[in-house]
Chains A and B, each alone.
Chain A
Amino acid sequence: MSTITAAPKLALRHRLAERGVDRTLLLVVPGVLALIALFCYPFLYGLQLSFQPTKGGALGAYRTFFSDPFQRKSIWATFSLAIPASLINVGASVPISYRMRRDFRGKRLILALLVVPISLGTVLTAEGILEFYGPAGWFNRTLHLLGLADSPVRLTMNYTGVLLSLIISGFPFAYLLTHSYLSGIHPSLEKAAATLGADRWNRFRHITFPLLLPGLMTTFCLTFVMAFAVFPSALMVGDPDGSTHVISIEAYEAALERFDYAAGCADAMIMTALMLLVIGVVAGLRSRLYRGATGGKG
């Protein structure tokens, strides 16, 4: 009797194990539980809360956001900072990492120089920008000395200040990612093109660039995520009540200054939706590109 009942149990366990379900899977459980409790649940809670504003019905918080021009414009402010910043960061890292593929003296020094800003932190960057690009800072003094500007150029407490801080903090990330993608493309592909008579520009245009493009799009996505969430620098070097009133500031002010949790959560949801929309568009474009082997190191 016992053998008969044991047999199907064993069989079930075997069948499950063949599909990859066995006790090893228990290892993933704590991680999944932690993220459900700390990420999914709060997120759904926030979503639910955003539909329960004190006034205006279920969609009241969203309606307020889209009908108030000051709040609505924060979307435009965010995109007009995040898109140029990520394009500049990705665009500048291509030629530089192209140069850095070769080995040369001082390469490690330049690498270190490019990685340094990661350690700077927002506040030091912001203070540095305020003091260096400020009206009495070295940058304006140099311009004056060279006779390029009569009166100090206003570069801080406005759009330019935030853009500068996004470039200083975002460029190292973009560069490191682009560098790792580029080193995954085997040099022999370009050499083959060279033996077939392609010049430098054609080799880049028709061989390296198409292979690099999917990686560049991922880099763009990740840099965009960072720039999209710009928060401390928009407050410190920007014009938080005007041109750099980005959506994260709007969400923060709603939730933790006005204590209107419904509005804060609604802003957070709008922010997430926009973010996922951009990532979805880039991922859609990326899936249409060549995704085969790049002959790289892997």
Chain B
Amino acid sequence: MRPGAWLAWAALVFFAVNLAGVIGTVVLDSFSRRWFDSWVPDGYTSGWYSAAWKEFSLGRVLGTTVEVTLLVVGISLLVGVPAAYALARRDFPGKRAVTVLFVLPILVPPIAYGIPLATMLYKVHLAGTMAGVVAANLVPSIPFVIFTMTPFIEQIDARIEAAARVCGAGSGTVLVRILTPLLLPGMLAAGILVLVRTFGMFELTFLTSGPTSQTLVVTLFSAVNSAGIRSAQSVDAMAVVYTGSVAVLLLIALRFVNPTQLVARSTD
């Protein structure tokens, strides 16, 4: 494996250099006065950030983003955790069908179910509203919570609950005083992961949002793609704001969860 080792390191270094180049150019450009045909910009300014903040009304967009994200996290935890509990603890007829129902939204590309979903939302006049965006984002989030929570629930010995019942605890007490404290780390992990994913979820929000319910990713995309003359720098400034916020969320997430959980979505 000696040549293999060199190859691996070379690939890693090449990836790192290119990554640094891609990020570096955008960050540098967002601070540049003018940058055309040279190695480095002609001058530096931080004016693009305040320009982008005003031009794209980022304050309102960030507010919407936070609102949508928190609603999605809250609802998907509320719906997903009990379902994960039932799936982890019981073996019932039709369990396979239910599991398939929960796996499909993870496997089918968001665009493929997003278009029929958006069409349906237009029909019931929910498209463009905050409720529509939240509903669309719940589709991948609920299964994601379920599959993230299942191993956490399986770790809890069912005899602990049985013991609590023997000691006279009712279902409510078992839930509040036994299960919730034990499941809190798992719920935190699932919640943070859904937070990161919803924050960055482009396709579904793009298909279902209207002018007042756009999240930051969609605004960013529209700024690049819509007609009109926009300076590349102010778009870059907004991209840096976006990436900065995701990076902060991701750093918080990595304190609580193992990075492999970010992607291990449905490994059987």
A binding-site residues for B, Cβ under 8 Å = 19-22, 24-28, 30-32, 34-36, 38-43, 45-47, 49, 92, 95-96, 98-99, 110-111, 113-129, 131-132, 136-139, 141, 168, 171, 173, 176-177, 179-180, 200-201, 204, 215, 218, 222, 225, 228-229, 231-232, 235-236, 248, 251-252, 255-256, 261, 264-265, 267-269, 271-272, 275-276, 279
Query: Can you spell out 11 A-B residue pairs with CB atoms less than 8 angstroms apart?
Result: A20-B91, A26-B86, A41-B120, A99-B5, A121-B217, A121-B243, A132-B22, A176-B264, A228-B109, A269-B112, A279-B107
* Contact present for B111 and A252 (CB under 8 Å): yes
* Stretch of B43-51, B54-62, B231-239 that contacts chain A: B231-239
A268 to B112 Cα, complex, angstroms = 4
Q: Given contacts A131-B29, A256-B118, A265-B115, are A124 and B239 in contact (CB under 8 A)?
A: yes
* Contact present for B116 and A131 (CB under 8 Å): no
- Among all A-B residue pairs, the 5 with the closest Cβ atoms: A46-B116, A229-B109, A128-B22, A31-B83, A27-B82
A30 to B84 Cα, complex, angstroms = 11
B235: which A residues are within 8 A, CB to CB? Answer: 123, 127
Name the residue of chain B whose CB is nearest to the CB of A267.
B115
Q: Given contacts A38-B138, A177-B260, A265-B115, are A99 and B9 in contact (CB under 8 A)?
A: yes
* Contact present for A31 and B16 (CB under 8 Å): no
A25 to B83 Cα, complex, angstroms = 8
B binding-site residues for A, Cβ under 8 Å = 1, 4-5, 7-9, 11-12, 15-16, 18-19, 21-26, 29, 36-37, 39, 79-80, 82-83, 85-87, 89-93, 95, 98, 101-102, 104-105, 107-113, 115-120, 135-136, 138-139, 142-143, 146, 200, 202-203, 207, 217, 220-221, 224-225, 232, 235-236, 239-240, 242-243, 246-247, 249-250, 254, 259-260, 262-265, 267
A256: which B residues are within 8 A, CB to CB? Answer: 115, 118, 207
* Contact present for A248 and B109 (CB under 8 Å): yes
* Contact present for A127 and B26 (CB under 8 Å): yes
A212 to B175 Cα, complex, angstroms = 40
A110 to B146 Cα, complex, angstroms = 30
| A124-B26, A268-B113 known, 9 other contacts, Cβ within 8 Å | A25-B92, A41-B120, A46-B115, A46-B116, A47-B116, A96-B11, A120-B246, A137-B25, A139-B21
Q: Given contacts A21-B93, A128-B25, are A168 and B116 in contact (CB under 8 A)?
A: no
